A and B are shown apart, each in its own frame.
Chain A
Amino acid sequence: MQAGRVSRLTVFGFLGPAVLSLALIGIVPLVFAIYTSLHKYQLTNLRRTPFLGLENYQTVLSDPSFWDAMQRTMTLLVIVLPLQLMIGMGIALLLHRPGLGFLKTLTRLSLVVPMATTYAVVGLLGQITFNLKYGVVNQLIGFLGFDPVNWLGDPTNAFITIAFWDVWQWTPFCALVLLAGLTTVPGEIEEAARLETKKWWTILRHVQLPFLIPGLTAILILRTADTLKLFDMVFTLTRGGPGSSTELISLLIQRVGFRVFDQGLASAQAIILLIITILLSQLYIRLIYREVEQ
């Protein structure tokens, strides 16, 4: 064996367990989901699981409930993602400014709290916060002399509530990632730019933004994937209601899979969602990096 070269056995020894675990945890369930999506797989009647081919996919694609849920999910995404990015960027720029060391440390620490809180707990907190009669939000509104708002009982308000709550939970994540990106901008370049212009936008656009691209790409991909599969918070907060007003695609899949027990149909829905997520991620990477290359 040549010096410096590692034997194949060692490579397998180190990588094998990780690859095997990944296969067991990630690949096997995926393959099983594909299998069930091609069968009639009703959990309460497993004596009959005939092969259906693509019938489940056909049912999903022609089901208005699926497209309604997809539309709601996409609407949520296009509302919350820009808000999280803009507010997150604002917070990051504020924290990037020199001075106020202790306050900034305190702010950074408190930013971690919402995103470190379990989704389900965030939903339960929302129930208390937005309760019509006893909620904190309506109490505050009452102090200002306004009538209470029915946050969770009105379809439009309920959707606004989950969007607001998602922004509250995940803006800190964007802020911290962007702040990390800002710290990678060489100090002398930034200083030179500040001597050239006082316009923060110009500095952001031409000096800081190129350093933020990897972080932005990560945020776009992660937040898109997270929003597309957002479940726990909404489930504990509104359970998809009132009516179907907050039934996102993940709630629909859960309902079909674990309440109607039609695992075949739910698997087909999940596979379609996976394909959409992958396509969107690829789109982000291509668009953003093409922008950078230009």
Chain B
Amino acid sequence: MRMKSAVRGLALGAAASLSLSAGQAFGWSLEEAAKPYAGTTVDVVFLLRPGYEAAEEMLPEFEAATGIKVNIIKHPYENALGEQVRDFVAGGDLDIALIDLVWIGNFAENEWIVPLEKFTSNPDLADPELDIDDFFPLVLNAFGAWNDTVYGLPFDNYSGLMFYNSCMLKEAGFDGPPKTWTELKDVYGPALTKDGKYAFALQSKRNETQSADSFARVLWPFGGSFLDKDFKSNLLSEESQAGLKFRQELMQYMPEGIVAYDHAETVNALAQGDVAMITEWSAFYSTLTSPETSKLGDCFGVAPEPMGPAGRKPALGGFSLAVASQADEDEQAAAYLFIQWVTSKANAKRYLDMGGVPARQSVYKLPGVAEQYQFVDALVESWQDGVPEFRPRFAEWPEITEIVQEWGTKIMLGDVTTEEGAAELGKRMEAVLEEAGYYAGEKPLAQ
């Protein structure tokens, strides 16, 4: 609620600044706004993923129009946080922060990023067409905002979706994918696991994949969560345990060694016809539909993630771009112009066509988009039924995710029971939160 009002406030602020300088606003153009910053170079970290390739392809147009040079530094996801933290701590060169939704608390509390309002309230920089309300509220809130302040604009946006091999399902006598997790395990699992093929693969490698894609994915739909309202561990609750036990039971229908599966292995397993269904990020749609990387062809299908007793609660992940506070004023302005441009409503369709997944509501309402991109309906539905704190977004997440990764994997391997694992995990998680000062009231219980 507070978040909604903050977003509305920001939108009103932008609108107010627009109306205060109506003359300028109506005559606003990117070229004019960028004139004072021509020749400025802004540095940004990009990942090796389809959405970033799309933005990179679009980039020459921005550079030609503005004279601003965008210097892209590419990192795999696993290195992106460390590289940025070191750069910000050392007062380095990065002018734009690429923020995974679970990093935003960390970045904001360290004041490494600048609140967006600084730029949206500047009529020289703010595009009157920014239309911040056009972003899916859940996505803007989760990816770009912290403690009622918007810092970043959603750029590379994911929701968990179910991708499936419709031909394998048909052969086994199913008309479509399962509607619930229980149905997946009890009906689809036994029917589709045979002859070296598996019904399902849940990427569970011991990195952020274990925390986000595997552990959290089975908590929320079963009514569980990492923390209760007092920030104490909720992992021993009946609901959380139900989710974790479900994962253990589902493993019999997954390929051997699933704890070593990252995104690449999982997507490849579906693409090569080795598994019938996966739940993966929407960003892998282009990989699975491209004949160069997938054998699925007409057998490809996509649906929302199955529902649990507590609802769908699909995996939520993605990145926003925010202006780095260490940049000087010109670099900050240039950085903002780039962020505003690359996430704009005007560029959303092109970004989508090139393999990106924009978070603009308007683009998915355009005629033909839903027909052209099979994932649209599932994605839109997911972004209306997600939880922003799918993984807690506070500054302590990097510490906590390591604990989840270690003990989540131990649970999957059967080294400990779900109860033992959850108890140890909870104990260690609470120790981190205790030290951070949450229980002493030094920090607000925000996640």
Q: Is B96 an interface residue (CB 8 A)?
A: no
Q: Which residues of B contact A262 (CB under 8 A)?
A: 399
Could you say which of A46, A241, A258 contacts B409, with CB atoms under 8 Å apart?
Answer: A241
Could you say which of B81, B82, B85, B259 contacts A153, with CB atoms under 8 Å apart?
Answer: B259
Q: Which residues of A contact B207 (CB under 8 A)?
A: 239
Q: Is A272 an interface residue (CB 8 A)?
A: no
A150 in contact with B256 (CB, 8 Å): yes
Cβ of B436 to closest chain A Cβ, rounded Å: 9
Q: Is B395 an interface residue (CB 8 A)?
A: yes
Q: Which residues of B contact A241 (CB under 8 A)?
A: 205-206, 259-260, 409
Which residues of chain A from 236 to 294 have a CB within 8 Å of any chain B CB? Answer: 238-244, 255, 258-262
Q: Which residues of B contact A238 (CB under 8 A)?
A: 260
Q: How large is the interface on B (under 10, 10 to 19, 20 to 34, 35 or more residues)?
A: 20 to 34
How far, in angstroms, from A261 to B106 measured CA to CA in the complex? 12
B395 in contact with A242 (CB, 8 Å): no
Q: Is A152 an interface residue (CB 8 A)?
A: yes
The 8 A CB mask of A216-230 against B (1 = contact, 0 = none) is 000000000000000
Contact A44:B260 (CB < 8 A) given known A242-B206, A242-B409: no
Q: Is B23 an interface residue (CB 8 A)?
A: no
Q: Is B419 an interface residue (CB 8 A)?
A: no
Q: Is B43 an interface residue (CB 8 A)?
A: no
How far, in angstroms, from A133 to B265 measured CA to CA in the complex? 10
Q: Which residues of B contact A244 (CB under 8 A)?
A: 206, 406, 409-410
Contact A243:B257 (CB < 8 A) given known A44-B106, A44-B395: no
The 8 A CB mask of A84-98 against B (1 = contact, 0 = none) is 000000000000000
Which residues of chain B from 171 to 201 have a CB within 8 Å of any chain A CB? Answer: none
Q: Is B366 an interface residue (CB 8 A)?
A: no
Could you say which of A43, A65, A259 contacts B89, with CB atoms under 8 Å apart?
Answer: A43
How far, in angstroms, from A46 to B109 measured CA to CA in the complex? 12
Q: Which residues of B contact A255 (CB under 8 A)?
A: 402
How far, in angstroms, from A46 to B86 measured CA to CA in the complex? 12
How far, in angstroms, from A255 to B82 measured CA to CA in the complex? 11
How far, in angstroms, from A152 to B279 measured CA to CA in the complex? 22
Cβ of B359 to closest chain A Cβ, rounded Å: 27
Q: Which residues of B contact A185 (CB under 8 A)?
A: none
How far, in angstroms, from A267 to B89 measured CA to CA in the complex? 18
How far, in angstroms, from A205 to B121 measured CA to CA in the complex? 84
Cβ of B235 to closest chain A Cβ, rounded Å: 18
Could you say which of B206, B257, B410 contacts A154, with CB atoms under 8 Å apart?
Answer: B257
How far, in angstroms, from A150 to B86 measured CA to CA in the complex? 37
Q: Is B116 an interface residue (CB 8 A)?
A: no
Q: Which residues of A contact B406 (CB under 8 A)?
A: 65, 243-244
Contact A243:B402 (CB < 8 A) given known A133-B274, A155-B413: no
Q: Is A45 an interface residue (CB 8 A)?
A: yes
Q: What residue in chain B is nearest A242 (Cβ atoms)? A: B259
Main secondary structure of the interface of B (DSSP, over half): helix
Contact A43:B206 (CB < 8 A) given known A150-B256, A243-B413: no
Cβ of A206 to closest chain B Cβ, rounded Å: 49
Which residues of chain A from 128 to 144 have a CB within 8 Å of any chain B CB? Answer: 132-133
Contact A45:B274 (CB < 8 A) given known A132-B257, A261-B398: no
How far, in angstroms, from A148 to B93 measured CA to CA in the complex? 48
Contact A242:B402 (CB < 8 A) given known A133-B274, A153-B257, A259-B82: no
How far, in angstroms, from A65 to B207 measured CA to CA in the complex? 17
Which residues of chain B from 82 to 97 have a CB within 8 Å of any chain A CB? Answer: 82, 85-86, 89
Cβ of A120 to closest chain B Cβ, rounded Å: 13
The 8 A CB mask of B370-411 against A (1 = contact, 0 = none) is 000000000000000000000000010011001000100110
Which residues of chain B from 342 to 387 have a CB within 8 Å of any chain A CB? Answer: none
How far, in angstroms, from A259 to B406 measured CA to CA in the complex? 13
Q: Which residues of B contact A154 (CB under 8 A)?
A: 256-257
Q: Which residues of B contact A155 (CB under 8 A)?
A: 413
Q: What residue in chain A is nearest B86 (Cβ atoms)? A: A43
A243 in contact with B206 (CB, 8 Å): yes
Q: What residue in chain A is nearest B206 (Cβ atoms)? A: A241
Contact A152:B257 (CB < 8 A) given known A239-B207, A241-B409, A242-B413: yes
Q: What residue in chain A is nearest B413 (Cβ atoms)? A: A243
Q: What residue in chain A is nearest B396 (Cβ atoms)? A: A44
Q: Is B415 an interface residue (CB 8 A)?
A: yes
Q: Is B24 an interface residue (CB 8 A)?
A: no
Q: Is B110 an interface residue (CB 8 A)?
A: yes
Q: Is B242 an interface residue (CB 8 A)?
A: no
Cβ of A242 to closest chain B Cβ, rounded Å: 4
How far, in angstroms, from A239 to B77 measured CA to CA in the complex? 14
Q: Which residues of A contact B274 (CB under 8 A)?
A: 133
B415 in contact with A243 (CB, 8 Å): yes
The 8 A CB mask of B100-127 against A (1 = contact, 0 = none) is 0000001000100000000000000000
B409 in contact with A243 (CB, 8 Å): yes
A243 in contact with B110 (CB, 8 Å): no
Contact A45:B110 (CB < 8 A) given known A242-B413, A243-B409: yes
Residues of B within 8 A of A (CB): 81-82, 85-86, 89, 106, 110, 205-207, 255-261, 274, 395, 398-399, 402, 406, 409-410, 412-413, 415
11 more A-B residue pairs beyond the given contacts A154-B256, A154-B257, A244-B410, with a C-beta to C-beta distance below 8 A = A44-B89, A44-B106, A65-B406, A133-B274, A153-B257, A153-B260, A243-B406, A258-B82, A260-B398, A260-B399, A261-B398
Residues of A within 8 A of B (CB): 43-46, 65, 132-133, 150, 152-155, 158, 238-244, 255, 258-262
Q: List 3 tightest A-B contacts by C-beta distance, closest first.
A: A153-B257, A153-B260, A241-B206
Can you list 8 A-B contacts with CB-CB less than 8 angstroms, sorted by A residue number? Answer: A44-B85, A150-B257, A153-B259, A154-B256, A242-B260, A244-B410, A259-B402, A260-B398
